[in-house]
Amino acid sequence: MNIPVQRRSGLPSIAARLLVWVWIFAPCGMAQGLQSDSFIAAIETIEHSVGAVDCLAVSAAEAKLLKRIGSAFVVSDSGDFVTAAHVLLAMQNRGDPCPTSAITFAVGDWRPEAPAEDMLWFPFEIGECRRESVLDIALCRTSVDLRAPIRKSNKVAAVQFEWNSQPNGSRLAFTGFPLEARDPMTFQAHVAAYRTIWPDKATPELVLDHNSLPGFSGSPVYTADGKVVAILVKDGKPEAPGAAIARPVSAVREMLTLRRLK
């Protein structure tokens, strides 16, 4: 390709050379930068499945947030959701009692740019949750069926699972409510390794090469096509502060599938 360049002398000026370089190479770079991240659609889908695990003070139809404890995600239309077992333990061991335990969603889409959002909360009884303490997973059910008419305006949807392990190096994402955030946050990471904790009980772990933050516990870990492969349970501290630890869904498949069929 011949590109005309103005010359002051027999050689192109530095500015002209830069202009030629930008003209030739920038479109390619810009195109790459403008390409949609492969996880964007998956994140938008998962955001309709994640909720914050909250302690609320409820008076009539009004609810006041006392403390945001962790994250959770919906696994059935009837109101089953998954979180980390230690999130429930933290609610029970608070210095101040937790009057109402609930999972909270935005009405419609999450809108981080809005000064305020309309929220929907669904109470649940901690004592009715099924917990696997060693695996640090809990399965609970909301007291209100999510198939009620209000669900349509809330767009809450159950996740889909991928039971097979992802190869080392695979790119994943996790979405939840760290640092008591009002709206969900998403981190991306890669599968660093799978490992099994011994000797008390064979406890499978998925190690991610990105740190977690307080409040992410209970978040779904998912692939670029939006299928959940694990549940985030803790960060890598103290031995691996730059990592996060998740429980593969295959380790609790029986719990998830049997409960969802009821």
CA distance 110 to 28: 33
Are 41 and 222 contacting, i.e. CB atoms less than 8 angstroms apart? no
Share of the chain above pLDDT 70, in %: 81
Residue 185 tokens, joined: 């946050």
pLDDT at position 233? 97
| pLDDT reading at 39 higher than 90 | yes
CA distance 160 to 29: 35
Closest C-alpha among 72, 105, 76, 78 to residue 91: 72
CA dist., res. 59 & res. 17, Å (int): 70
| CATH 2.60.40.420 for the 160-249 domain, yes or no | no
Q: Is the dihedral of CA 86, 261, 107, 119 positive or negative?
A: negative
Give dist(CA 50, CA 68) in Å, integer.
Answer: 14
Tell me if 41-154 shares its fold with 160-249. Answer: yes
**pLDDT at residue 78, as a whole number:** 84
The domain spans of the chain are 41-154, 160-249
CA dihedral 115, 121, 125, 130 (to 10 degrees): -80
CA 102 to chain centroid: 18
Region 41-154: CATH code: 2.40.10.10
Q: How confident is the model at residue 246 (pLDDT cuts 50, 70, 90)?
A: very high
| Residues contacting residue 35 through CB under 8 Å, at least 6 positions apart | none
The least confident of 69-83, 142-156, 190-204 is 142-156
Compute the mean pLDDT over every residue in the chain, rounded to the nearest whole number. Answer: 84
Predicted TM-score (pTM) of this structure: 0.83
CA angle 237, 159, 138 (to 5 degrees): 50
The pLDDT score that the predictor gives to residue 262 is 44
What is the rounded CA–CA span in Å between residue 50 and residue 53? 10
| Structural element, H or E, at residue 259 | helix 253-260
Nearest residue to 86 via CA among 211, 256, 247, 262: 247
The two tokens of residue 101 are: 């335990």
